[in-house]
Amino acid sequence: MVEKVYVTYNEVHKLCQASADRILNDFKPNLMIAIGGGGYVPARILRSFLKRPTAPNIPIQAIGLSLYEQLPSSNPSNPVEAPGTKVTRTQWLDLSSLEMANLVGKNILIVDEVDDTRTTLEYAVKELQKDVQTAADKLGTHEKTQFSIFVLHNKDKTKKGHLPKDMMDDERYLAARTVSDVWICYPWEATDIDEHDRLAASQAKY
């Protein structure tokens, strides 16, 4: 049976708060790209902690990627999901607009909720790097665009996906917390938030 761990909104808020100084001082993001749907809420919370006096809020753009698939379950009211084998785009940046040009030369923070197999993060980084390079070529510029990653939870397991060596060497990857290979239930997935919080209160904190 898959072990489930329930995380509350308060816990997510505090994980973002605890990570903000490192992100602000080391990554210096000009823009965030949230991977939907799990990266939306952490990115929005994080933006409040990254706000500097007199500076505008850091913009958030969104992409949608799907890797997980639902598995058969003996309890239909308690479905279990597992990583699939193929990343599917459900939403992407508009390559025909100014969006891509606005990414060139920026420090971009990619935000997601969990690093499980790393397949989704690998796909996001590779595709965004490729698209930004295409935009830079069109603009005729050699400005460097730097990507960093923030996740709430990193699962301590062998990864199928890989991130760029320079990103890992430069420590431009940050997980607020590393956990064992459990199924993490986030509050935005809950249909009964009171029951979700009750289950969270009854177990060890992650």
- Catalytic residues, by residue number, are 116
DSSP, res 75: -
* Closest CA relative to residue 186, chosen from 206, 204, 202: 206
DSSP 129-193: HHHHHHHHHHHT-----EEEEEEEEEE-S--SS---HHHHHTT-EEEEEEE-S-EEE-GGG-S-H
Distance CA 8, CA 193 (A): 9
What residue type is 113 in one-letter code?
Answer: E
Q: Tell me the Cα Rg of the chain.
A: 18
Distance CA 135, CA 55 (A): 26
Distance CA 48, CA 122 (A): 27
